[in-house]
Amino acid sequence: MGVKNDSPSYKFLNIKEGKLKLKEGDEIKTYASIEGRIKRVEFSIEEYAGVMYEKAKILITDDADVYVLQMNTSSGYFRGLFNSLKTSLNPHGFIEITPSYKKGDNGNPKTTCFVKQSGQNLKHAFTKDNIASSDFPPIITSIHKGKTIYDDTEQILYWKNWINDTFNKGYEPKPIEKEDRELTPIEKEIADDLPF
């Protein structure tokens, strides 16, 4: 019987250009994927350079370590992860999450997360082909000063409701928070879905 802590020591992961970044001391380690079980997901409002945004903190355990995978709820990483998990017969089971980043035809980055379970890649629940016949809300588009504005508020709310029903039932709120402080230059460098 070994010694145990009352509360787990979390390892915080961010995503930068499709790679997982783990800061340990002054060193940043890079990984392609993370394996484990999602235990719960918490949401917090954060601020970066005067812009408010919502962050998802996904608690993942591999039965040895506890990780917190952090991502902006408006990111392709967030949408891809949960759009895949929705097709799983056991979203609480052991999975592998692999972020992806590539430049689109217009030069803008396209991000997502691929999810593998029991050796199989999970497909997206909602695609361009089936979204019109589903209960999944569309992205609202509008034109402002000649620019197309995309509003994903209803989609984020849909995913948050599904996440809370799937992963957060029965949990007492136990915030997964770092100490309240400014982001260090290194932390600013290791996440590419901050609202710049």
pLDDT tier for residue 111 given thresholds of 50, 70 and 90: very high
How far apart, in whole angstroms, are the C-alpha atoms of residue 13 and residue 20?
A: 6
What per-residue confidence (pLDDT) applies to 21? 96
What per-residue confidence (pLDDT) applies to 147? 86
Give the chain's radius of gyration (CA, Å).
Answer: 17
- Give the pLDDT confidence of 54-104 residue by residue, as tens digits: 999 999 999 889 999 999 999 999 999 999 999 999 999 999 999 999 988
What is the number of other CB atoms lying within 10 angstroms of the CB of residue 73?
A: 22
How far apart, in whole angstroms, are the C-alpha atoms of residue 116 and residue 150?
A: 29
| CB 44 within 8 Å of CB 55 | yes
DSSP state of 131: G
Region 155-161: what's the mean pLDDT? 95
Which percentage of the chain shows pLDDT scores above 70? 83
Q: Parallel, antiparallel, or unpaired for β 10-16 and 66-72?
A: parallel
pLDDT tier for residue 180 given thresholds of 50, 70 and 90: very low
What per-residue confidence (pLDDT) applies to 181? 45
Sheet with 19-24, side-by-side order of all strands: 27-31, 19-24, 10-16, 66-72, 51-61, 34-48, 95-103, 109-117, 120-121
pTM of the model: 0.83
